[in-house]
Amino acid sequence: MPIPLHEKSLLRNQGYINGQWQDADEQRVYPVINPATGQTITMVADMGASETKTAIKAADQAWPAWRSLTAKDRAAILKRWFERIKIHAEDLARLITLEQGKPLAEAKGEVGYGASFIEWFAEEGKRAYGSVIPSPLADRMLLTIKQPIGVCAAITPWNFPLAMITRKVAPALAAGCTVVCKPAEATPLTALALAVLADQADIPPGVFNIVPCDASHVPEVGQTLCESPVIRKLSFTGSTAVGRRLMQQSAPTIKKLSLELGGNAPFIVFDDADLDAAVEGVLASKYRNAGQTCVCANRIYVQDTVYQVFAEKLAARVQEMTVGIGTEPGVMIGPLINSAALNKVQAHIADALAGGAKVLVGGTLHQLGGLFFKPTILTDVSQSMRIAREETFGPIAPLFRFHTEEEVITMANASEFGLAAYFYARDIGRVLRVASAIEAGMVCVNSGLLSNEVAPFGGVKQSGIGREGAREGLEEYLEIKYVTLAGL
Ligand code: ADP
Compute CA 479 distance to the chain's CA centroid, rounded to the nearest angstrom: 24
Which residues have a Cβ under 8 Å from the Cβ of 32 and sit 6 or more positions away? 40, 41, 42, 43, 44, 99, 186, 187, 188, 189
Task: Supply the DSSP symbol for 419.
Answer: S
From CA 136, how far away is CA 429, in angstroms rounded? Answer: 44
Give 10-24 pLDDT, tens digit per residue.
Answer: 999 999 999 999 999
| Nearest one of 197, 162, 161, 171 to 118, comparing CA atoms | 171
Residues 158 and 250 in one domain: yes
Q: Is the CB of 239 under 6 A from ligand 1?
A: yes
Residues 256 and 278 in one domain: no
From CA 157, how far away is CA 151, in angstroms rounded? Answer: 20
**What does the CA dihedral 233, 179, 144, 78 come to, rounded to 10 degrees?**
-150
Q: Which of 220, 242, 289 to mutate to test the pocket of ligand 1 (most atoms within 8 A of CB)?
A: 242
The answer to whether position 79 is within a domain reads yes
Q: Is the CB of 186 under 6 A from ligand 1?
A: no
Strand partners, 300: 267, 399
Residues 288 and 246 in one domain: no
- As a whole number, mean pLDDT of residues 260-287 equals 97
Query: Which CATH number do you get for residue 66?
Result: 3.40.605.10
The answer to whether position 127 is within a domain reads yes
Residues 289 and 202 in one domain: no
Residues 304 and 399 in one domain: yes
Query: Which protein residue's CA is at the shortest distance from atom 14 of ligand 1?
Result: 184
Confidence bin at 471 (pLDDT 50/70/90): very high
**pLDDT score of 2 more than 80:** no
Residues 78 and 214 in one domain: yes
Residues 473 and 431 in one domain: no
Task: Output phi, psi for 363, to 5 deg.
Answer: 100, -10
Which residues have a Cβ under 8 Å from the Cβ of 126 and sit 6 or more positions away? 71, 72, 75
Give 366-384 pLDDT, tens digit per residue.
Answer: 999 999 999 999 999 999 9
Query: Which protein residue's CA is at the shortest distance from atom 22 of ligand 1?
Result: 219
- As a whole number, mean pLDDT of residues 318-341 equals 97
The answer to whether position 458 is within a domain reads no
Confidence bin at 173 (pLDDT 50/70/90): very high
- As a whole number, mean pLDDT of residues 71-75 equals 98
- As a whole number, mean pLDDT of residues 306-324 equals 98
Distance (Å) from CA 184 to ligand 1 centroid? 7
The whole-number pLDDT of residue 1 equals 58
The whole-number pLDDT of residue 135 equals 97
- As a whole number, mean pLDDT of residues 302-307 equals 98
Residue 187, CA distances (Å) to 10, 49, 248, 486 in order: 14, 20, 26, 54
Residues 204 and 319 in one domain: no
Return the amino acid letter for 292.
Q
From CA 179, how far away is CA 231, in angstroms rounded? Answer: 9
From CA 475, how far away is CA 469, in angstroms rounded? Answer: 10
The answer to whether position 385 is within a domain reads yes
Confidence bin at 111 (pLDDT 50/70/90): very high
Task: Output phi, psi for 307, to 5 deg.
Answer: -55, -50
Residue pair 92/85 in contact (Cβ under 8 Å)? The answer is: yes
Q: Is the CB of 390 under 6 A from ligand 1?
A: no
Distance (Å) from CA 170 to ligand 1 centroid? 21
Query: Which protein residue's CA is at the shortest distance from atom 26 of ligand 1?
Result: 222
Helix (H, G, I), strand (E, B) or coil at 396: strand
**For 215, left (φ over 0), alpha (ψ -120 to 50), or beta?**
alpha
Residues 432 and 474 in one domain: no
Q: Is the CB of 211 under 6 A from ligand 1?
A: no
Residues 199 and 277 in one domain: no
The answer to whether position 246 is within a domain reads yes
Helices (H) and strands (E) in the chain, counts: 15, 22
- As a whole number, mean pLDDT of residues 47-71 equals 98
Mean pLDDT, the chain, rounded, equals 97
Rounded to two decimals, what is the model's pTM?
0.98
Q: Is the CB of 214 under 6 A from ligand 1?
A: no
The answer to whether position 469 is within a domain reads yes
Residues 242 and 297 in one domain: no
Residue pair 370/391 in contact (Cβ under 8 Å)? The answer is: no
CB atoms within 10 A of CB 70: 11
- Residue 182 lies in domain: 8-261+463-483
Q: Is 124 a catalytic residue?
A: no
Task: Output phi, psi for 141, to 5 deg.
Answer: -120, 135
From CA 370, how far away is CA 350, in angstroms rounded? Answer: 19
Number of domains in the chain: 2
Query: Which CATH number do you get for residue 430?
Result: 3.40.309.10
Residues 118 and 243 in one domain: yes
Residue 4 or residue 252, greater confidence: 252
Task: Supply the DSSP symbol for 403.
Answer: -
The answer to whether position 2 is within a domain reads no
Q: Is the CB of 155 under 6 A from ligand 1?
A: yes
The answer to whether position 101 is within a domain reads yes
From CA 135, how far away is CA 143, in angstroms rounded? Answer: 9
Backbone Cα Rg of the chain: 23
Catalytically annotated residue among 260, 390, 405, 476: 260
From CA 20, how far away is CA 136, in angstroms rounded? Answer: 53
